[in-house]
Chain A
């Protein structure tokens, strides 16, 4: 009985905050992948997901349902703020550059170590340090 009451008040709440829930879900899962995975490529995938969640954080509140682009004319009254979109355009470029650089480093690491598993790279480094 009480569970039904809780769910009936929870559902509209969930729908209302849908974009935030998705944002936090992506954010946390991305961060988890970066930390939990040892594969260099998978880490970058996680990093990308993490960065992408931020795009939603900015974009979703900037959109007003029924809002138009900021055109100053009498027939349009409600505008969506264009600034978050511009900011995120910049952030996307930064994200792409980071991902590209990260993948480049992964390729170079593969050439130098013969592996893209973090634990194997660490083991090789430790071996080198003992020999030094």
Chain B
């Protein structure tokens, strides 16, 4: 067998192995080199898998050569390969950024542990996406969650510890709900393979244990993906974690949970059970709308820039679940597209905010939080950094020419297809809220005088270090590029959506 045939397993094993190696070398620089190399290798492999799926359809890999219903199967279809590219790509960009950033945010003797945890988190997220086995999925979920709690707790502020503890409690409850759901499914079907589970469920899909399993899985996964009333862990975790960690989590962790939800709904339960026999679409629709309006409105009144964009994340997740609730090809396309587009834009924004925080620290403001009065006038001191946040913000709003526009376009198409014109208005109105909170940043950063200018001095230009700007701008440019060249994202998302919706179940 050639190396290409082993890509699915290497995709997970390479980052997973780099974690203990990073601990063994006990040296920040070496650990950085190892983990970054592993992340770039994972990115290359994800792209390789994307092409393999394009050539030969779904790629399956049998761990230890045990055939699927008994052994663990790794399964890469169009959707999985698309999410793999997002997760590994963001990791490959965030890691070089970390190098410049953790030096200032994390104590020196803990650096190698930071990289080890990052590698574990990456391996866990990739594993969730690639595995075709329900219990394996839970194990990877816990690997990524446990390392995420540690990464958040590494933040300098003591509130990072409280946020991490809170996330640990809520995340563990969510994960336990997921195992309970998987347990019921296992009791009913006697298999753990997701595809096999789907075929075997067809005889018993109306029985009560299956409905209970659906309920437990939905609540558990929605806790993980921070659907509106279950999002309480998210704002503080994003606000107080180290900048690089926030960017990585905001771009990947909740997105992977969305992937898990799609996987369970369409591959295991089948749309007829989820969408036609239960009022789940209505519940999903109203929760999504509450997220789009409620969380975005809360974002408007935040004084801390990181928390503002954290609440915006909760709102943006509303668009993803809104797309799911349509149960149509266009709706699902919008969801899949938005988890990619929002990942890029939010990743870029949090990376650039890390640069802002650094600039604030240098001007004598301490390593404080980026509150709005502290960032006043920063548009003149750090124009390139602030311009990046503004451009990525345009993608959050969904301005034509940015990646975010495509999502809104497909959401509106899906709403029109079902004749729900009021939803078109809702999508457009909620975009106005995004305009409002992005504008708040623009207004403070460019049109308010900084402390130095109020004292009558000119503002000196002082950008964030290049090592921070280059990775962040890569993501900014990507979110502009994918707004203009839609061949990669839209075709992947459409393919994935057609395969899932059209599977006839």
Contacts and interface: CB of A to CB of B under 8 A. Distances in A.
Interface of A: 27, 31, 34, 40, 43, 47, 50-51, 54, 57-58, 61, 83-84, 87, 90-91, 94, 97-98, 101-102, 105-106, 108-109, 112-113, 121, 125, 128, 132
A85 to B, nearest CB: 13
A120 to B, nearest CB: 11
B180 A57 contact: yes
B169 A132 contact: no
B158 interface: yes
Given A105-B153, A105-B165, A132-B368, A113 B172 contact: no
A132 B368 CA distance: 9
Given A31-B173, A132-B368, A102 B135 contact: no
A98 B162 contact: no
Given A98-B146, A101-B150, A109-B165, A128 B173 contact: no
A98 B147 CA distance: 10
| A-B residue pairs, 6 tightest by C-beta | A112-B158, A94-B142, A105-B165, A57-B183, A109-B161, A108-B161
Contacts of B179: 54, 91
Interface of B: 135, 138-139, 142, 146, 149-150, 153, 158-159, 161-162, 164-165, 168-169, 172-173, 176, 179-180, 183, 186-187, 192, 303-304, 368-369, 371
A54 B149 contact: no
Contacts, number: 73
Contacts of B180: 27, 54, 57
Most chain A CB atoms below 10 A, which of B135, B146, B164: B135
B256 to A, nearest CB: 18
A61 B101 CA distance: 51
B489 to A, nearest CB: 35
Secondary structure class of chain A's binding surface, majority of residues: helix
Contacts of A125: 159, 162
B162 A51 contact: no
A83 B190 CA distance: 10
B135 A87 contact: yes
A98 B161 contact: no
Given A54-B180, A97-B146, A102-B168, 15 more contacts: A43-B169, A47-B172, A50-B176, A87-B135, A97-B142, A101-B146, A101-B149, A102-B172, A105-B149, A105-B165, A106-B165, A108-B153, A108-B161, A128-B159, A132-B369
26 contacts: A27-B180, A47-B172, A47-B173, A51-B172, A51-B176, A54-B176, A54-B180, A83-B192, A94-B138, A94-B139, A94-B142, A97-B146, A98-B142, A98-B146, A101-B146, A101-B149, A102-B172, A105-B149, A105-B153, A105-B161, A106-B165, A108-B161, A109-B158, A112-B161, A125-B162, A132-B303
A47 B177 CA distance: 12
Contacts of A101: 146, 149-150, 168
Secondary structure class of chain B's binding surface, majority of residues: helix
Contacts of B369: 132
Contacts of A106: 165
A40 B162 CA distance: 10
Contacts of A47: 169, 172-173
B303 to A, nearest CB: 8
Contacts of B192: 83
B239 to A, nearest CB: 11
Contacts of A97: 142, 146
Given A34-B173, A47-B169, A54-B183, A105 B368 contact: no
B146 A105 contact: no
Nearest to A98: B172
Contact of B183 (A58, A94, A105, A109): A58
Contacts of B371: 132
A31 B159 CA distance: 25
Contacts of B138: 91, 94
Contacts of A84: 186
A31 to B, nearest CB: 7
A23 to B, nearest CB: 10
Contacts of B172: 47, 51, 98, 102
B155 to A, nearest CB: 11
Given A105-B165, A108-B161, A50 B368 contact: no
Nearest to A46: B169
Contacts of A90: 135, 139
Contacts of B164: 105
Contacts of B150: 101
Contacts of A109: 158, 161-162, 165
Nearest to A125: B159
A55 B148 CA distance: 24
Nearest to A109: B161
Given A51-B176, A57-B183, A125-B159, A40 B139 contact: no
A112 B172 CA distance: 23
A9 to B, nearest CB: 20
Nearest to B171: A98
Contacts of A34: 169, 173
Contacts of A112: 158, 161
